[in-house]
Amino acid sequence: MNHTIFRNLLAMVLFAAALTLIVSGCTRPRKDYQPEQPFGFSHYLHAGQHEIACQYCHTSPAMGRHSSVPSLDICMNCHSMVSTDKPMIQELRKAYDEGRKIEWTKVHDLPDFVYFDHQPHVAAFRTQEGNDKPGQIQGVCANCHGQVNTMEKVSTQNEFNMGWCVNCHRENFAPTNCTTCHR
Ligand code: HEC
Ligand code: HEC
Ligand code: HEC
Ligand code: HEC
Ligand code: HEC
């Protein structure tokens, strides 16, 4: 074996060991976090039973860096007509008319030193079998968020820590150098 190859191999082994150490040291589990919400919104009812597409309410995951949680305007697109006799919808209407917001509690919230972008992920998983049809984005989101369309209340379905990100990047030949996620 020539020396250059050996040195490169050694460097690779050391780097892998360092990465493993860092990854195992950064295990901060976030799975099954399910905070209380200020208002009883059901994904099961909307995205499951009524099959409203994820991107109707979360307009940006496919395009931008951040996803978004819908404002009351989006709710009122339907609820100015749908179920207006129900007490909860009257509560929504009242908040809307008074210009108030619903302060949803964040379920997923990575530290600021982590760079995450929905766009390349949505683009990559769009090419998976069954996910390539327009409007069918649930399968794309499920890679990380699980079957949200079956949930009454959203909870985290994965660890959402560094080990989780890096493992999936390795499996999918996505970049694993530190500056991918720390910029
Ligand atoms: C009718 C509107 C609507 C539809 C359709 C919808 N959502 Fe939501 N989503 C919301 C609202 C409102 C919240 C904030 C309250 C909550 O967490 O339940 C939310 C929260 C979330 C969160 C948690 C955000 C956080 O704080 O981290 C995820 C993840 C999510 N939705 C994914 C999905 C997926 C995947 C689909 C499609 C299967 C979907 N949503 C369809 C309205 C919607
Ligand atoms: C694309 C249409 C659509 C949008 C947008 C939508 N909803 Fe709904 N919502 C429905 C339908 C349909 C039902 C079920 C009505 C039924 O079964 O009688 C429903 C039911 C509900 C109910 C249950 C009412 C009851 O007591 O029976 C609540 C609460 C609710 N929606 C809240 C929201 C909130 C909050 C938003 C915005 C984040 C929202 N909805 C956005 C269509 C929509
Ligand atoms: C590769 C994994 C992955 C996929 C695929 C994914 N998400 Fe996320 N999502 C995340 C992570 C990580 C966060 C937390 C981001 C943060 O805290 O900075 C997040 C946060 C969110 C939030 C909270 C608001 C925000 O942007 O911080 C919503 C809503 C959401 N995702 C919806 C969706 C929807 C809808 C889809 C499908 C179109 C989807 N996500 C696909 C990993 C993913
Ligand atoms: C379910 C698998 C999966 C998970 C989990 C995942 N990623 Fe990714 N990530 C990918 C894939 C696939 C790509 C696309 C690579 C490509 O475009 O060739 C990607 C691309 C990226 C990119 C863009 C890289 C570039 O320069 O093109 C960033 C940034 C990123 N991921 C950050 C994260 C972070 C931060 C997390 C954890 C919070 C995470 N990812 C979790 C699979 C995943
Ligand atoms: C694919 C995305 C990704 C890559 C690549 C990545 N990290 Fe991280 N890193 C994260 C995420 C997500 C967290 C947040 C973990 C948490 O808060 O649980 C994190 C946290 C950290 C922390 C803080 C540890 C702690 O306990 O809060 C350090 C230090 C760190 N990473 C260093 C590195 C180094 C060095 C590399 C390169 C060898 C690297 N990261 C590569 C996603 C990544």
Q: How far is the CA of 49 from the centre of ligand 3 (A)?
A: 22
Report the chain's C-alpha Rg in angstroms.
21
For ligand 3, whether the C-beta of 109 sits within 6 Å is: yes
Cα–Cα distance between 126 and 106 in angstroms, integer? 25
Q: In angstroms, rounded to a whole number, what is the distance separating the alpha carbons of residues 174 and 8? A: 21
pLDDT of residue 92: 96
- Residue 155, class by beta-carbon neighbours within 10 Å (0-12 exposed, 13-18 middle, 19+ buried)? middle
Q: Which residues line ligand 2 (CB under 6 A)?
A: 40-41, 45-46, 50, 52, 70, 74-75, 77-79, 82-83, 86, 88-89, 92
Average pLDDT for runs of 10 along the chain of length 183: 57 57 55 92 97 88 63 96 97 96 91 92 86 78 95 95 97 97 95
d(CA 57, CA 179): 31
Ligand with minimal distance to 29 CA = 5
122, exposed or middle or buried, with CB in 10 Å at 0-12, 13-18, 19+?
A: buried
What are the distances in angstroms from CA 5 to CA 12, 65, 123? 10, 40, 37
pLDDT for res 22: 54
Nearest residue (by CA) to ligand 1, atom 22, is 154
* 3-25 helix and 162-171 helix, angle to the nearest 10 degrees: 140
Residue to probe by mutation, ligand 3, list 118, 165, 182, most atoms within 8 Å of CB: 118
Mutational pocket test of ligand 1: of 46, 50, 58, 82, the residue with most ligand atoms within 8 Å of the beta carbon: 58
pLDDT for 120: 92
- The bound ligand whose nearest atom lies closest to the alpha carbon of 66 is 3
Q: What 8-state DSSP symbol labels residue 149?
A: G
Atom number, ligand 1, closest to the C-alpha of residue 53? 5
